[in-house]
Structure 1
Amino acid sequence: MKIATLFTPEYPLVLESGRSLSHVQVAYEEYGTPSRHRDNTVFVCHALTGDSHPARHDPDDIPGWWDVMVGPGRPIDTDTFHVVSANVLGGCAGTTGPLSPGETGRPLGPDFPEVTVADMVTVHRALLAHLGIERLYSVVGGSLGGMQALEWLLRHPGDARRFVLIGTAAGLTTDGLAAHAISRAAIRSDPCFDGGRYVDDLIGPGPRDGLGIARMVAHLTYMSPESLESKFGRAVQPGREPTGPAHGRYAIERYLEHQARKFVDRFDANSYLHLTTAMDRFTAFERPHAIAPENDPAVHVFSFASDRLFGQEVTNALLAQLTATGLTTVTHHRDTTSPAGHDAFLLNVPGYLREMRAVLAEPSAV
């Protein structure tokens, strides 16, 4: 992981809210080698709980969150492309966020300002300027990463030759808003939340229970009913005897508890509040957009039939809105093979990966 300082007191980051950050550092990683003309860079935008590490750098490295997609011989082939991925503004994996120190030297916590998807893109573009990259081969992202890629397309269509939007939408449905509302309520109601100052005041372990419940709620939206049924059904966890109504015996319950425990060890509750709020408030086409002929990149939308977070109607609306901007190349690739739900974009789904490889390796490729 590398760290870049992109904004300073002399040149602060002015957020969409009107507030500013006078010191912004960004955690990022690079894979592959820039071409002689510096025109082979793919920027990978991560999802809600991702970070700047989509793939292993070598066999001894820790796994990345998108090893099926990024790496030598993968669809985003690091033998061909120079890949950049950065932890988002407001995150908790090296980029400035609620855990970052304020003027007092203590974590900003709840005083960290509201950020938007557009603010995230502003920081991504500043990172690329820092790296001397003027135009991208592609911007690729799934879920919240797809929202970033969509916002980038609409605001700066000339920045890349192609934009790839995977398992995403122009805005959350009411179901999505509701899931986030429950998740944030769980965090805020945890006795150790302490108004968001759990790091500063060192009140117990922090809101681990609330954050864990938030992860359990979210995880259900990432899986399809079919995948839950096939993996767990009403199976009882081996070795688990019923312990009364407070603690069930079913494998699905143990699985969700396991996911919660893993998550709270690596993620910050205040970051979760900020990033889910940014997703909630994302409305890509709230203002009119028209893309000029000279800035007409190829746009590729990927969706999954089993995705209950962003279903068919959501994808159809996105496609119609993209076409209305004047874009001349908008393609849609819909996978009907994977029962995994929203999480399918992270998994080894052969047809989807083949299509991704084809999209990124068109005759006009590097």
Structure 2
Amino acid sequence: MSDGVGQVETKTLLVHDEERPLVLESGARLTHVEVAYETYGTLAPDGGNAVFVCHALSGDAHAAGYHEGARRPGWWDNIIGPGRPLDTDRLFVVCANVLGGCKGTTGPGSIDPSTGRPYGLRFPQLAVRDLVAVHRALLRELGVRRLLAAVGGSLGGMQVLQWSLDHPGELAGAVIVAASGRLSAQNIAFSAVAREAIMRDPDFAGGDYYAASVPEAAEAPARPDRGLALARMIGHITYLSEESMRQKFGRRIQDAVEPRYGFDVDFEVESYLAHQGQSFVERFDANTYLYMTRVMDYFDPFADAAYVQRSVAEAAASPGGATRYLVLSFDSDWRFSTEHAREIADELRGAGAPVTFRELSAPHGHDSFLFPIPEYHRTVAGFLDQLAGGAGARRAAAAGAGAGTGAADAA
């Protein structure tokens, strides 16, 4: 494997303001929206090599490479870089922190221009299409008119799916990994318990736990770290498979030969979960966790079958042709099982979209999409290679026919 993209920097752009407000699906308006993002590789002159990475619930814009002084790379470094599936020798890769996020993009912890204090729970409710709207605004600022592909796992895959349906013809390809088109009651239940853990924390303060929320206070208020850590522990259990937990931990005792028969941390798996919870509160915001899990709960793009059929037909009739889909699942993922992925593929095929569906073998559960699994990487790389070849052929044909404007639109 190559050394990756090297040292990178997260940048920020203002993409919505008073003159160009963001109108959300709920009807609410945001008049100041900043987006944190990173780019890797070089945008081709015709713009036809751009790939957008949509991150999952706890991700952010730092998908690859190293920040100055950091020891760990971005969260998807194994798939982005020279010679990797998202090959930055050929592709221009963009990743942005989602709207409602807590790593540089406007969210509940941002200052509300109307009050001068953080939004907290006064931040408007969001839908997946609102996240996509901000991604598209960022791309406009970067000069990207059409994507070779959008790629995402879990919540990221939901964004890719919504993007392809809401904006037919903007994506040559859509890579949807370990995602769901409609959360099950069990999935909603897990998220509901996690949210309760946060909101019942005595330090939650109705979402107003930011220092700027009470500027007159002598010291910064406590944050709901206990609730957020517990929410992360609950969620993390669902991201792993039983087999991966057995291999990692079994019933091994932590730092002792014999059980201590008390209620402190005793088993290795308990210590692991405690570590996951504590490390999470150091980098994430409790309110963002509430908003993003609720975004996932309400996601249901196939509820209107006629809308889906129209979207697929419009994409097929666009200058760039139909959006091609790659839908992937992992056999050990029980949070968003293969049944979820198969439903996405079946719905899209039923509407007439070209879909490739594969279930891949991996022991890591839902988190498998984050691992460098050879067959997984080969599948994604092969799909992107096919897209790049097809897009190049379409542009050449359009140019040869004298369709200069159409070729630019398809790029």
Is the contact made by 2:67 and 2:73 (CA closer than 8 Å) also made in structure 1? no
How many pairs align?
A: 364
SS of 1:77's equivalent in the other structure is coil
Q: 1:358 aligns with which of 379, 382, 400?
A: 382
- Counterpart of 1:22, as a letter, is T
Q: Distance in 2 between matches of 1:59 and 1:111?
A: 35
Of 147, 155, 170, which aligns to 1:159? Answer: 170
Displacement after TM superposition at 1:107 (Å): 0.9
- Residue number in structure 2 paired with 1:324: 350
Is 2:74 aligned against 1:48? no
Question: What is the CA distance between 1:105 and its match in structure 2?
Answer: 1.9
TM-score by length of 1: 0.96
Residue 174 of structure 1 deviates from its aligned partner by 1.3
**For residue 109 of structure 1, what is the aligned residue in structure 2?**
120
Displacement of 1:242 = 5.4
- The alignment partner of 1:218 has SS state of helix
In the alignment, the residues of structure 2 paired with residue 163 and residue 360 of structure 1 have an alpha-carbon distance, to the nearest angstrom, of 10
Tell me the TM-score normalized by structure 2.
0.85
Deviation of 1:4 (Å): 0.9
Verify: 1:333 aligned to 2:358, yes or no: yes
> What is residue 145 of structure 1 aligned with on the other side?
156
1:71 and 2:77 equivalent? no
1:172-251 matches, cutoff 5 A:
172-199=183-210, 200-201=213-214, 204-239=221-256, 245-251=262-268
CA distance in 2, matches of 1:118, 1:265: 29
Q: Give the distance between the partners of 2:259 and 2:223, measured in 1 at CA.
A: 29
- Within a 5 Å distance, the mapping from 1:51-130 to structure 2 comes to 51-56=60-65, 62-102=72-112, 103-130=114-141
Q: CA deviation at 1:205?
A: 2.6
Amino acid across the alignment from 1:235: R
Among 319, 331, 352, which residue is 1:305 paired with? 331
SS at match of 1:178: helix
- The 1:240/1:7 distance shift into structure 2, 3 A limit, reads farther
Of the candidates 7, 25, 34, which is equivalent to residue 16 of structure 2?
Answer: 7
Give the alignment partner of residue 30 of structure 1, picking from 26, 29, 39: 39
Moved more, 111-120 or 280-289: 280-289
Give the Cα separation in 2 of the matches to 1:67 and 1:272.
Answer: 23
Q: 1:277 — aligned with what?
A: 294
> Does residue 1:347 correspond to 2:371, yes or no?
yes
1:136 matched residue in structure 2: 147
Matching residue of 1:17: 26
Report which of the two structures shows the higher radius of gyration computed on alpha carbons. Answer: 2
Q: Counterpart of 1:364 in 2: which secondary structure?
A: helix
- Give the Å deviation of 1:243: 5.7
Distance in 2 of aligned mates of 1:241 and 1:273: 39
AA in 2 matched with 1:364: G
Matched, 1:261 2:278: yes
Checking the alignment, whether the CA contact within 8 Å between 1:31 and 1:57 is kept in structure 2 is no
Give the deviation of 1:179 after TM superposition: 0.7
- Aligned residue for 2:265, secondary structure, equals coil
Match for 2:324: what amino acid?
A: A
Q: Is the 8 A contact 1:240 1:249 kept in 2?
A: no
Contact 2:177/2:328 (<8 A) preserved: yes
Distance 1:265 1:203 in 2: 16
Instruction: Give the whole-Å Cα distance in 1 for the aligned partners of 2:92 and 2:334.
Output: 33
After superposition, the C-alpha distances for 1:229-252 in whole angstroms (9 at most, x for unaligned) are 111111101248756543130000
| Counterpart residue identity of residue 317, structure 2 | E
Q: CA deviation at 1:311?
A: 1.2
Mapped partners of 1:57, 1:242: distance in 2: 41
- 1:60 CA drift (Å): 6.6
Q: Secondary structure at the match of 2:376?
A: helix
Superposed displacement of residue 361, structure 1 = 1.1
Measured after TM superposition, the shift of residue 271 of structure 1 is 0.5
Aligned 8 A contact 1:237 1:249 in 2: yes
Instruction: Structure 1: give runs of 5+ residues left out of the alignment.
Output: none
Who is 2:317 aligned against?
Answer: 294
Q: Provide the identity percentage.
A: 46
> For the residues of structure 2 that align with 1:58 and 1:14, how far apart are their CA atoms?
33
Structure 1 range deviating more: 74-83 or 237-246: 237-246
Segments of structure 2 that go 5 or more residues without pairing to the other structure are 1-9, 393-411
Shift in alpha-carbon separation, 1:258–1:241, aligned structure 2, 3 A: farther
Asked if 2 retains the 8 angstrom alpha-carbon contact of 1:216 and 1:257, the reply is yes
Check the 8 A contact 1:32/1:81 in 2, yes or no. yes
C-alpha distance in 2, partners of 1:220/1:156? 35
SS of the residue aligned with 2:169?
Answer: helix
